[in-house]
Chain A
Amino acid sequence: MSALPADETAYRLEMRDISKSYGGVRAIRHADIAIRPGTVHALVGENGAGKSTLIKIIAGAEFADAGAISFNGEPITISSTTDAIQLGVQTVYQEPQLFPELSVAENVFVGRELTRGVRVDWARQADQMHDLLATVGLPDRISTAPVGTLSIAEQQQVSIAKALAGDATVLILDEPSAILTDAEIEVLFTVIRRLTSAGVAVIYISHRLDELFRIADVVTVMRDGETITTRPIGELSVRQIAELMVGGVVSESRPQNGAATGEVVLELDGFSRTGRFDGVDLTVRSGEIVGLYGLVGSGAGDIASVIYGMDKATGGRMLVSGRPVTVRNPAQAKRLGIHLLPANRSAQGAFSFQSIALNIVVGELGLLSRIPGWASRRRERAIAQEFIRRLAVKTPTERQPISAMSGGNAQKVVLARQLVKRPALLVLAEPTQGVDVGAKEEIHRIISGLADEGTAVLVVTSDLGEVLRISDRILVVRAGQITAEFRPDATQVEILAAAAGADTPDADTTPAPIVIQEDQT
């Protein structure tokens, strides 16, 4: 199965026959990967394929159950993050691992402080900060700000700066581009090229397959915890990579959804929240799926939270079924028939160690008995079982904690919570983020089914493929304003251009992201 090149002595890092289980879950199975200095080695695979687990093993954050690792040809064991750092393995994790109370400058140097005697050499650190920030494209003044006050994208850049602060021999980047803008990604690529020319080995994980062709030299595809193949990137096309990832021919059909003519359920008129979005007008009709597409930080997510009453509007009107309303809190939103699937499943959605049943009914506890305030466990289980069946959630019983489920199934449980009472308007924020292809398709099917039954659906997403696939109408949000409206037959290039702010799509500077889709060749 291993398709590794023959010249083994030239490898900076080599991992052979690595396996790793979490309890009963086999996250990695007999994986092989070998990385040469001065190259960018891409690692791709579906959600849950085991990419992050593999790189955590290199970084010393997790420990393999079996397998061998060698570094510059020497067999080694990495038994802690300190070991890895001493080898020069620097890692940018998928979720920024920073210290909110500490300043950016401190965060960058934590664990590898520059010292003079026992004292931290603040002056020298400050000096280096300047260069590091310039390298990752952050302004100097940011270095004194507590990290907790930064945006997610800025935090990601700080993480990159942190990885660059050490003398890297191996740089690992786990989906660094997922939350960066195109301009920021360009800066990152410049950094990567400079490092590889200095002989650093880079491992680069990404779901944006198109960008791999611009930066990677070699690609390893993972599926179900196994490394399927390793090839020079030039030997493959995007479509081939996608098919290797899913292990078959990719074919997704677009769910059919007739143009909606139902009554207007939600109407926003000059809707604003200071500093977040401004003068938003939109309507969602019963039976219609409206896609609200925006890049991270565009304000699309804020529109959803204000509709749901998590944040306050500061201007404009909101009408529900024609009646003007001011939604003060989610409880009131729900009384108006507005339900919302939050974007961040683990932080905002899941009650981790509580049962699936509680996770499903928690939003509508009033249904659990005719006696107000009473909650029948039998009723709770019955409702949960019904939704487990309707949404085809894979679980032996509704008593299992949600923490024991895979991402896609957990997402279905959180989605089920919004459907226990039929919503008039369902707002879905990033409904399939971190969910793999199969589950994604099922969730899309469920969403269209709801629209068919007359629910008005507003999907807020930064996933271009998704918005094109399920929406009846697409609204693009940029810098807090709705800048364009498209029919679903629009091209990806058009939509991305509207979202990124380019007036004319230019294939050279804004390459069309290539997403697995039927009409692609």
Chain B
Amino acid sequence: MTTETTTVRPTARRILPPPVTGQEFVLTGVIVALWVLLGVFTPAFLTPGSIQPLLVSVAPIALIGVGMTFIIITAGIDVSVGGAIMLCAVITAKMMVTANLPLPLAVGLSIAAGLLLGLVNGVLIAYGRVHAIIITFGTANLFQFFALRVFGSETVNGIPGTLDVFGRGEAGRTLGVPHSFAIMIVIAAIAWWYLRHTTGGRHLFAIGGNANAARLAGIRVQPRVMVAYAVTGALVGLAACFFIAAGTSTLDQAVGSGRELAVIAAVVIGGTSILGGRGSVIGTVLGAILVQTVTSGVTQLGWPSQLATLFVGVFIIIAVGTDLLRQRVRAQP
């Protein structure tokens, strides 16, 4: 075998898809365009007082979105995150009120609770041989039930400000950046790196692309799948703290409701294929920012707030539509 050769060797960069995909450029462009337009029509939009709360609202959705991206890359889905948020939030808030937990304990408790719920999903899905959407429809009901039991027909009142560091007021910001958003970005960056550069991450893509081939290649499919749900659970736990911090001093049963669709919307707008095998957390973060921009923008423009979801729907179609179109064009030659 001759090793002396002049041909261009495949470089690491070229083995992988580009670090930022076309879809992500499109999304960034759309978001920039929206921000500029909103800045022109409502001058207050591009001020810290407006952007900071926007980022605070983005943080929990994007954070769960990171986990959901893992799951959807493996060709699964988790529609139970709404119920899981509710359960984590109520346990944490209640413990904070009754035991006046310090910050690390409160966050630790919430993450542990989320991890446990994620594990329940993960075990049932990976080992139960039932499609993820069915299992998580079921567990969504269970989580909601347990959350309502913990609520015990009351709201949780007088939640102390322990969690304010996650983005409330001056204590919640460093250099103007809300901490919850910063934490989300750090976690998303780690997740991006994990998905792109570690065996575990690459295996998730392999599993979503062809689960049987992954098994034949010696990948332990079931533990990996289980971990994707468990990680999402843990992120839900952290996000529940963000939700508590972003709410008032009272926690009611509405917390978490309908968030599963918001998270899934962010993920699919971000270009992750619902069929598995392809996706990115950068896109998910951008997707979450886009949805929140649209919602805030509609309110700030003084348009009827009922229109916000119409625009969210239209943006999903545009974002996923361009992605489909690009793939089709790429497949042409």
Residues of A bordering B, CB below 8 Å: 59, 61, 80-82, 84-85, 91, 93, 97-103, 105-106, 110-113, 115, 118-120, 122-123, 125-127, 129-131, 134-135, 140-141, 143-144, 162
Q: Is B197 touching A119 in the complex (CB atoms < 8 A)?
A: yes
Known contacts A101-B205, A122-B16, A129 near B197 by CB under 8 Å: no
Give the docked Cα–Cα distance between A219 and B7 (Å): 41
| Beyond A97-B216, A98-B210, A144-B15, 9 extra complex contacts between A and B, CB < 8 Å | A61-B216, A91-B216, A99-B206, A99-B214, A112-B217, A120-B202, A122-B15, A130-B5, A131-B3
B206 is contacted by which of A61, A102, A135 (Cβ under 8 Å)?
A102
Give the docked Cα–Cα distance between A97 and B98 (Å): 56
Known contacts A99-B277, A113-B199, A135 near B213 by CB under 8 Å: no
Residues of chain A within 8 A of B8, CB atoms compared: 140-141
| In the complex, residue of chain B having the shortest beta-carbon distance to the beta carbon of A101 | B277
Residues of chain A within 8 A of B213, CB atoms compared: 97-99
Known contacts A99-B210, A101-B209, A113-B202, A126 near B218 by CB under 8 Å: no
Residues of chain A within 8 A of B1, CB atoms compared: 131, 134-135
B202 is contacted by which of A59, A110, A127, A143 (Cβ under 8 Å)?
A110
Residues of chain B within 8 A of A113, CB atoms compared: 199, 202
Q: Mark B200-234, 1 if CB is under 8 A from A, else 0.
A: 10110110011011111111100000000000000
Q: Is A111 touching B214 in the complex (CB atoms < 8 A)?
A: yes
Residues of chain B within 8 A of A131, CB atoms compared: 1, 3
Residues of chain A within 8 A of B11, CB atoms compared: 122-123, 126
Q: Is B216 touching A110 in the complex (CB atoms < 8 A)?
A: no
A81 is contacted by which of B9, B13, B202, B215 (Cβ under 8 Å)?
B215
Q: How far is the CB of B31 from chain A (nearest CB, A)?
A: 26
Give the docked Cα–Cα distance between A126 and B12 (Å): 6
Q: Is A102 touching B10 in the complex (CB atoms < 8 A)?
A: no
Residues of chain B within 8 A of A102, CB atoms compared: 202, 205-206, 209, 277
| In the complex, residue of chain A having the shortest beta-carbon distance to the beta carbon of B194 | A118
Q: How far is the CB of B198 from chain A (nearest CB, A)?
A: 5
Residues of chain A within 8 A of B278, CB atoms compared: 101
Q: Is B218 touching A130 in the complex (CB atoms < 8 A)?
A: no
Known contacts A97-B213, A99-B206, A111-B219, A140 near B199 by CB under 8 Å: no
Give the docked Cα–Cα distance between A106 and B206 (Å): 9
A-B contact pairs, 12 of them (CB 8 A): A59-B216, A61-B216, A81-B216, A101-B278, A103-B16, A103-B17, A111-B217, A115-B199, A119-B197, A126-B15, A134-B1, A143-B10
B210 is contacted by which of A100, A103, A105, A118 (Cβ under 8 Å)?
A100
Q: How far is the CB of A318 from chain B (nearest CB, A)?
A: 25
Give the docked Cα–Cα distance between A175 and B8 (Å): 32
Q: Is A119 touching B15 in the complex (CB atoms < 8 A)?
A: no
Residues of chain A within 8 A of B129, CB atoms compared: none
Q: Is B202 touching A125 in the complex (CB atoms < 8 A)?
A: no
The 3 tightest CB contacts between A and B, nearest first, are: A122-B12, A111-B217, A97-B213
| In the complex, residue of chain A having the shortest beta-carbon distance to the beta carbon of B196 | A120
For residue B328, CB closer than 8 A to chain A, the reply is: no
Q: Is A110 touching B10 in the complex (CB atoms < 8 A)?
A: no
Give the docked Cα–Cα distance between A12 and B212 (Å): 27
In this complex, how many residues of chain B approach chain A with their Cβ under 8 Å: the count is: 35
Q: Is B15 touching A97 in the complex (CB atoms < 8 A)?
A: no
Give the docked Cα–Cα distance between A144 and B18 (Å): 11
Residues of chain A within 8 A of B206, CB atoms compared: 99, 102, 110-111
Give the docked Cα–Cα distance between A84 and B215 (Å): 12
Residues of chain B within 8 A of A119, CB atoms compared: 197-198
Q: Is A110 touching B219 in the complex (CB atoms < 8 A)?
A: yes
Q: How far is the CB of B249 from chain A (nearest CB, A)?
A: 42
Known contacts A61-B216, A97-B213, A110-B206, A129 near B12 by CB under 8 Å: no
Q: Is B7 touching A140 in the complex (CB atoms < 8 A)?
A: yes
Give the docked Cα–Cα distance between A115 and B209 (Å): 22
| In the complex, residue of chain A having the shortest beta-carbon distance to the beta carbon of B213 | A97
Residues of chain A within 8 A of B205, CB atoms compared: 99, 101-102
Q: Is A85 touching B12 in the complex (CB atoms < 8 A)?
A: no
Interface centre among A81, A115, A143 (most CB of B within 10 A): A81
| In the complex, residue of chain B having the shortest beta-carbon distance to the beta carbon of A97 | B213
Residues of chain A within 8 A of B215, CB atoms compared: 61, 81
Q: Is A82 touching B210 in the complex (CB atoms < 8 A)?
A: no
Q: How far is the CB of A192 from chain B (nearest CB, A)?
A: 15
Residues of chain A within 8 A of B16, CB atoms compared: 103, 106, 122
Residues of chain B within 8 A of A85, CB atoms compared: 218
Q: How far is the CB of A453 from chain B (nearest CB, A)?
A: 42
Q: Is B12 touching A81 in the complex (CB atoms < 8 A)?
A: no
| In the complex, residue of chain A having the shortest beta-carbon distance to the beta carbon of B276 | A101
Give the docked Cα–Cα distance between A106 and B200 (Å): 13
Q: Is A81 touching B15 in the complex (CB atoms < 8 A)?
A: no
Residues of chain A within 8 A of B199, CB atoms compared: 113, 115, 118, 120
| In the complex, residue of chain B having the shortest beta-carbon distance to the beta carbon of A115 | B199
Known contacts A119-B197, A119-B198, A120-B197, A112 near B218 by CB under 8 Å: yes
Give the docked Cα–Cα distance between A270 and B240 (Å): 68
Residues of chain A within 8 A of B219, CB atoms compared: 110-111
| In the complex, residue of chain A having the shortest beta-carbon distance to the beta carbon of B215 | A81
| In the complex, residue of chain A having the shortest beta-carbon distance to the beta carbon of B1 | A131
Q: Is B277 touching A130 in the complex (CB atoms < 8 A)?
A: no
| In the complex, residue of chain A having the shortest beta-carbon distance to the beta carbon of B216 | A97
Q: How far is the CB of A139 from chain B (nearest CB, A)?
A: 8
Q: Mark B266-292, 1 if CB is under 8 A from A, else 0.
A: 000000000001100000000000000
